[in-house]
Each structure stands twice: as structure tokens, then as C-alpha cells.
């Protein structure tokens, strides 16, 4: 992912002919309207509308005839018109900050999106994905407040970014990840990072390890602080020292650097809890470099259940995040808020330890 500066650009090599596609939207032409259905069914538009929105009061017989007409004409209600009168768009925005978009390739994030989309597919909400450029956030703001969507889901890379929190009063918003500072009253769904870290650390303890170091994440990111806290708690309960801490920034390089610092301290280390798999990857390379065996000399547990884990040698034991469920839950919570169903402000999903070979 390092080198590879592609020179690719607008090089277009044609082949087929390029028939000027007349103009404008093809589908919009001659779409059947509610009125046409009414005519065909021999009823009024109001009645058709009732059938479409399955209003309780309508004769079964007439209902069937209307449905037949609908089927025959292949009628499908015009969203814009409906939205205009309802004041509801049936659309939900998925806001992803540009900085996050760069690491869009993060499988965790990808799964979250997938979960959202899959859940929404079962409802009749549409997902409007938009990348918010940090440069001019007003554009996003305008879009969100412009009545284009009924609600929004904000996911930022390693969570904690609630810069759109203030919009929560104007528009239903659900965040992915705990906010850094306790927010007034924003909704969010998160994975239980503290519990996950505890599980990971206890696993190490159960293996008999007592010299357990950690490479923690940035302390200005909730997952960073929570995972460190979990590690501390587990160690505290076991009465084991929690002195061996080095910080990283969740990148492999920072993980490698932290591992070096840990090793260079000279003290004994028989286990490592890395706050994410990427940093564990960095640690792996340093460990190999110094001829230390995993898990023989040092057992290591990661966090995230990245793509790295399964293919690493040895395969990495790590804490799995239910990414897709996380996404689905965010969507579910948002839909509930939109529809006025009471929901808790914070929803937290459990992690699961995936035991492989490294610990």
C-alpha cells in the first residue's frame, strides 16, 4: 500500500460507437401515475392512494381490483410527490468524514456499512452515502438540514468524532462509537471496548502469563482509552503490574516502534495486548526481527479481527468486533428514533475473543 503511485487518469480508449443518448432521464418518461391506476380501476385517486398505503377502510373487493390495476400498469408511487406532502423523504444519510474515507478500505468500516445497507434494505428507507469534506463542512450541514433525509448515521474512523453532534437537535442522528467527551444527549452505538480488552487480557492471564505489556491506542480516541482501561482492570484484579504501556496511533509502524520501546526497556515480557491488529502486525515484525517466538516467548492478542489476523504467522488471537451487527444496530436505532419509538441513547454490542495461534 506504500509505493504504487498510479499515473492512471483520464485515459479513455473507445471502442463502440457513442450514440448521443437523446437527453435526460429515461425512466421518468411515461411512468404510470396514481391517476391512471384510478382510471383503470374505475375508482377515485383517493381510493387508490388508500390501497397503496393500505388504509384499513376499504372494501376487499375494490382493493383487489385496484391492486390488479397497479400490477397491470406496473405502477410505483412517485417518491418525490409523496415526500412533498408527507414531509418525509424515506432517506437516511450515511455521513463518512473524508479522513475516514481514505481508510475506507478498513474492512471493519466496510462491514459496518454493509450492515447498515443490509438492514435498511428490509425497510423502505434509502441510504444516501455522502463523504463530508472537512474542508467545508457547511455543505454537509446544508444537505443534512436541507430536508433531504429523515435522519443520519455518522461513522468516523476510529470513532469519537461527534463534530456533528449539535445537529442532533435538528435531525435524528446516530453515531458510531462513543463520543470522546460525554455529549449532551447524542445517540450512539458502540462495541464494548473495555469488556473486550478485559477478555483479551484475562485470556493472557489464563495462559499463565504475568509480564503483560500493552501497546495502547491514542488516548484522545475512545477506543484507545477504553482498551487501555480494560487491560488495566484485568491486570489490577489479578494483582499484576500494569507498568508496561507504550502508546501507538493504531498504525502498523507505530506498533513496531512501540514494541521496540517495550523490548528496549529490558524488563521481562511474556505477553502483549495490542489495542488493534494493525499495531499487532507491527509488533509481529519486530518480534520476528529480534528472534522472539510467538507465542513461545511472547503471547500476543490483538483487537479488531482485521484481515491481518487470520493470515499472520502465527495466526493472531484477537478480539472480534461485530462490525456488521454494529451497522445494523445503528440503522435500527435511527429508524426507531425517526419513527418515534423510544430507544436507549447508548447501545453497546459485545465482542468475542477469537483464539488462534498467537496466544
Partner DNA sequence: TTGTATGCGTTATCAA
Partner DNA sequence: TTGATAACGCATACAA
Which 45-74 positions form the footprint of its own copies (CB under 8 A)?
none
- Phi-psi category of 74—alpha, beta or left, where left has phi over 0 and alpha has psi -120 to 50? left
CA distances from 126 to 181, 211, 212, 245 (A): 31, 51, 47, 45
Within residues 145-204, the interface with its own copies by CB under 8 A covers: 145-151, 169-172, 185, 192
Within residues 301-330, the interface with DNA by CB under 7 A covers: none
Grid cell for residue 231:
487491560
Tell me if 81 contacts DNA by CB under 7 A.
yes
| SS3 assignment, position 154 | strand
Grid cell for residue 195:
469488556
> Binds 126, which of DNA, its own copies, none (CB < 5 to 8 A, cut-off by type)?
its own copies
> Binds 65, which of its own copies, DNA, none (CB < 5 to 8 A, cut-off by type)?
none
Tell me if 260 contacts its own copies by CB under 8 A.
no
Proportion of the chain in helix, strand, coil states, percent, rounded to 5: 40, 15, 40
Within residues 67-126, the interface with its own copies by CB under 8 A covers: 76-81, 83-84, 87-89, 91, 94, 96, 101-102, 104-107, 110-111, 113-114, 117-118, 121, 126
CA angle 268, 270, 273 (to 5 degrees): 115
Grid cell for residue 26:
429515461
In the complex, the smallest distance separating the C-beta of residue 27 from DNA, rounded to whole angstroms, is: 12
Residue 195 near residue 226 (C-beta atoms within 8 A): no
The residue within the footprint of its own copies, chosen from 36, 131, 180, 207 (CB under 8 A), is 131
Grid cell for residue 89:
423523504
Residue 311 buriedness (CB in 10 A; 0-12 / 13-18 / 19+): exposed
The residue within the footprint of its own copies, chosen from 36, 52, 73, 130 (CB under 8 A), is 130
In the complex, the smallest distance separating the C-beta of residue 14 from its own copies, rounded to whole angstroms, is: 3
In the complex, the smallest distance separating the C-beta of residue 129 from DNA, rounded to whole angstroms, is: 24
Compute the distance between CA of residue 131 and CA of residue 117 in angstroms, rounded to an integer. Answer: 16
Of 45 and 356, CB closest to its own copies: 356
Q: Which residues bind DNA (CB under 7 A)?
A: 31, 33-35, 43-47, 49-50, 52-53, 57-59, 61-62, 75-78, 81-82, 84-86
Amino acid at each position: 500500500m506504500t509505493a504504487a503511485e498510479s499515473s492512471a487518469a483520464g485515459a479513455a480508449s473507445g471502442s463502440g460507437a457513442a450514440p448521443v443518448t437523446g437527453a435526460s432521464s429515461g425512466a421518468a418518461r411515461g411512468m404510470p401515475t396514481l391517476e391512471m391506476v384510478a382510471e383503470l380501476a374505475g375508482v377515485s385517486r383517493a381510493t387508490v392512494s388508500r390501497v397503496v398505503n393500505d388504509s384499513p377502510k376499504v372494501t376487499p373487493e375494490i382493493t383487489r381490483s385496484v391492486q390488479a390495476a397497479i400490477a397491470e400498469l406496473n405502477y410505483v408511487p412517485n417518491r418525490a410527490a409523496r415526500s412533498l406532502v408527507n414531509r418525509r423523504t424515506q432517506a437516511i444519510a450515511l455521513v463518512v468524514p473524508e479522513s475516514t474515507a481514505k481508510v475506507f478500505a478498513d474492512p471493519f468500516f466496510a462491514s459496518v456499512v454493509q450492515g447498515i445497507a443490509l438492514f435498511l434494505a428490509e425497510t423502505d428507507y434509502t441510504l444516501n452515502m455522502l463523504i463530508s469534506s472537512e474542508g467545508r463542512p457547511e455543505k454537509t450541514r446544508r444537505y443534512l438540514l436541507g430536508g433531504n433525509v429523515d435522519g443520519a448515521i455518522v461513522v468516523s474512523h476510529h470513532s469519537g468524532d461527534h463534530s456533528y453532534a449539535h445537529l442532533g437537535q435538528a435531525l435524528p442522528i446516530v453515531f458510531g462509537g462513543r463520543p470522546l467527551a460525554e455529549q449532551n444527549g447524542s445517540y450512539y452505538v458502540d462495541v464494548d471496548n473495555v469488556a473486550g480488552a478485559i477478555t483479551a487480557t484475562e485470556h493472557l492471564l489464563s495462559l499463565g502469563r504475568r509480564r503483560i505489556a500493552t501497546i495502547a491506542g491514542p488516548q484522545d480516541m475512545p477506543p484507545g482509552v477504553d482498551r487501555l482501561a480494560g487491560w488495566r482492570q484485568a491486570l489490577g484484579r489479578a494483582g499484576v503490574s500494569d507498568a508496561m504501556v507504550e502508546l501507538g496511533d493504531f498504525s502498523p509502524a507505530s506498533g513496531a516502534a512501540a514494541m521496540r520501546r517495550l523490548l528496549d526497556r529490558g524488563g521481562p515480557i511474556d505477553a502483549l495486548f495490542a489495542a488493534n491488529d494493525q499495531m499487532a502486525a507491527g509488533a509481529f515484525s519486530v518480534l520476528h526481527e529480534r528472534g522472539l517466538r510467538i507465542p513461545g516467548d511472547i503471547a500476543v492478542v490483538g483487537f479488531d479481527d482485521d484481515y491481518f489476523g487470520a493470515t499472520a504467522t502465527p495466526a493472531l488471537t484477537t478480539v472480534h468486533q461485530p462490525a456488521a451487527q454494529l451497522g445494523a444496530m445503528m440503522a435500527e436505532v435511527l429508524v426507531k428514533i425517526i419513527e418515534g419509538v423510544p430507544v436507549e441513547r447508548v447501545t453497546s454490542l459485545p465482542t468475542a475473543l477469537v483464539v488462534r495461534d498467537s496466544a
